[in-house]
C-alpha cells in the first residue's frame, strides 16, 4: 500500500492508516505521533516503518539508548524488514546507527552524503528524518549540503513541496542565508498556515536577525493558530518570550514562564523554560525563587546523559541551585558517564562535559576556547546563543 507521501509501505491496511495518522500529527504538531503507531508497531509483523519512526524519535526525544521504546522497536524493525526492500533496509540501517549513538552517520546513511552525493530523491520520510538527525548534533552545514540540491529538484507539482520548503528555510537561516530563508519560509507558510515548522523557521530568521517587530507580527498576532499545536507550542512561546526579553519586558517574560512551566512535561520543553530563566537572569532581571521549581523538575528526569543539549540545560538549573538535593547526583553521574566510543560519547567527552564545567566554575575563557565545537551539542543557533550570553555575562562580572 502507498502512504500519504506516495511511497509503498509494508504492513496491513490499519498499520498504513496509523502511519499516515502519525505523520498528520507530526507535521501539524498536534498530539503524540508515536502513540498513533503503538498498536500497529506491536502487533503487525509486516510493519517496518512504524518501529523505525518510534525508535528514531524516542532517541531524538531524549530516551536512553537502552530504553525499551528504543530497543524493542529497533528489534521489530530488524526482524520484519525484507532484504529486497531497499528503502526499508536503508531506514532500518539508519535507525541502527542512531540507536548505537552515531547520529551523523545515521543521517548520512539516509542522505547518501557518506557516498559523495544525496540519494534522498523526493522521499519526504528520509528528508524529514535526516533533517531532524542533523539538527540533533548541530550539523547545519551538512544538512544544507544535502538539502539544497534535493529541494531544487523536488517536483513543483508535489502537493507536499511546501513542507519541504519550510524545513529547508530553517536550514537556510541556520547557515546564515537569512534572505533565502525568509523567502522560502513565507512561501511555505502561505501555502499552509498550519505548517508550524515553516512558522518556526521564520521565527528563527527573525531571532537570528534581531527583528522584533516582524517576530511579534509572526507570533503574537497568530497565537490562536499555533498555541493549540501542542508538540511545539511551548517552543514557539519561548521565541515570543525572547523578543519580549529583548524589549526589556520582564513582566511578560515571567508571566509566560509561570503559565508554561506546568506544561513542561518533556525534556525539550524544560530546556526552553530553563533557557528563558537563565537568559533573564543574565540580562540582570530578578527571577525570584523560580529556579527551585526548575531544579525539582530536572531532578525528576530519569533519562540522563544521552543528549548533550538537554544535559547542558539540566546543569544550568543545578548551577543556580548548588544546594539542591539533586545537584551532586547529577554532576557525579555526568562525570561517571561511560564512554563506549560512539559519536554521542565523543560529544559529551569533548564538548558537553568541558562546557558544563566551564559554566560551573564561571570561567569565560574556558567557554571561549570551546566556541568552535559547541555546535556539536545540537539545537539551533538561537538556542546555543545561551553559551555566548553566558560567556559575555561572566566576562563582565570578572572584568575581562
Q: Is the pLDDT of residue 400 over 50?
A: no
Task: With cut-offs at 50, 70 and 90, classify the pLDDT of residue 399.
Answer: low
Q: Is the pLDDT of residue 126 over 80?
A: yes
DSSP label at 2? B
Please, which residues bridge with residue 2 across strands? 8
Single out the residue of 381, 377, 384 nearest to residue 172, CA to CA. 381
Single out the residue of 182, 110, 199, 121 nearest to residue 153, CA to CA. 121
Position 116 scores a pLDDT of: 47
In the predicted model, what is the mean pLDDT of residues 6-18? 96
Task: With cut-offs at 50, 70 and 90, classify the pLDDT of residue 121.
Answer: confident
Task: With cut-offs at 50, 70 and 90, classify the pLDDT of residue 119.
Answer: low
Mean pLDDT of the chain: 95
**Measured on CA atoms in the order 125, 381, 320, 370, is the torsion positive or negative?**
positive
Any idea which residue has 562546557 for its cell?
355
- Degrees (nearest 5) of the Cα angle 260, 165, 141? 85
Q: Show the cell assigned to 363.
A: 570561567
Amino acid at each position: 500500500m502507498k502512504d500519504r507521501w506516495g511511497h509503498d509501505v509494508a504492513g496491513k491496511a490499519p498499520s498504513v492508516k496509523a502511519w499516515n495518522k502519525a505523520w498528520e500529527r507530526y507535521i501539524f504538531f498536534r498530539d503524540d505521533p508515536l502513540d498513533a503507531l503503538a498498536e500497529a508497531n506491536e502487533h503487525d509483523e509486516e510493519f517496518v516503518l512504524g518501529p523505525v519512526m518510534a525508535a528514531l524519535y524516542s532517541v531524538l526525544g531524549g530516551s536512553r539508548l537502552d530504553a525499551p521504546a528504543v530497543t524493542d522497536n529497533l528489534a521489530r524493525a530488524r526482524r520484519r524488514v525484507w532484504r529486497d526492500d531497499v528503502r526499508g533496509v536503508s531506514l532500518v540501517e539508519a535507525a541502527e546507527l542512531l540507536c548505537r549513538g552515531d547520529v551523523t552517520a545515521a543521517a548520512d546513511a539516509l542522505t547518501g552524503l557518506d557516498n559523495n552525493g544525496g540519494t534522498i530523491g523526493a522521499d519526504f520520510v528520509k528528508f524529514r528524518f535526516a533533517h531532524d538527525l542533523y539538527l540533533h548534533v548541530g550539523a547545519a552545514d551538512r544538512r544544507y549540503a544535502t538539502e539544497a540540491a534535493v529541494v531544487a529538484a523536488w517536483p513543483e507539482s508535489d502537493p507536499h513541496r511546501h513542507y519541504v520548503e519550510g524545513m529547508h528555510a530553517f536550514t537556510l537561516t541556520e547557515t546564515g542565508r537569512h534572505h533565502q530563508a525568509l523567502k522560502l519560509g513565507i512561501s511555505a507558510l502561505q501555502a499552509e498556515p498550519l505548517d508550524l515548522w515553516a512558522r518556526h523557521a521564520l521565527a528563527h530568521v527573525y531571532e537570528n536577525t534581531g527583528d522584533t517587530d516582524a517576530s511579534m507580527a509572526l507570533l503574537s498576532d497568530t497565537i490562536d493558530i499555533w498555541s493549540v499545536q501542542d508538540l511545539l507550542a511551548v517552543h514557539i512561546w519561548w521565541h515570543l518570550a525572547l523578543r519580549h526579553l529583548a524589549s526589556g519586558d520582564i513582566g511578560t517574560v515571567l508571566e509566560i514562564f509561570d503559565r508554561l512551566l506546568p506544561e513542561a512535561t518533556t525534556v525539550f520543553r524544560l530546556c526552553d523554560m530553563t533557557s528563558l530563566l537563565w537568559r533573564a537572569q543574565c540580562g540582570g532581571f530578578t527571577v525570584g525563587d523560580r529556579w527551585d521549581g526548575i531544579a525539582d523538575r530536572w531532578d525528576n528526569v530519569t533519562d540522563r546523559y544521552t543528549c548533550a543539549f538537554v544535559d547542558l540545560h539540566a546543569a544550568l538549573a543545578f548551577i543556580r541551585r548548588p544546594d539542591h538535593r539533586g545537584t551532586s547526583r547529577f554532576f557525579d553521574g555526568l562525570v561517571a558517564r561511560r564512554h563506549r566510543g560512539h559519536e554521542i560519547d565523543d560529544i559529551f567527552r569533548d564538548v558537553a562535559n568541558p562546557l558544563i564545567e566551564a559554566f560551573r566554575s564561571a570561567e569565560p575563557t574556558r567557554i571561549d576556547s570551546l566556541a568552535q565545537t559547541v555546535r556539536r551539542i545540537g539545537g539551533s543557533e538561537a538556542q546555543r546563543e545561551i553559551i555566548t550570553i553566558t560567556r559575555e555575562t561572566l566576562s563582565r562580572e570578572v572584568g575581562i
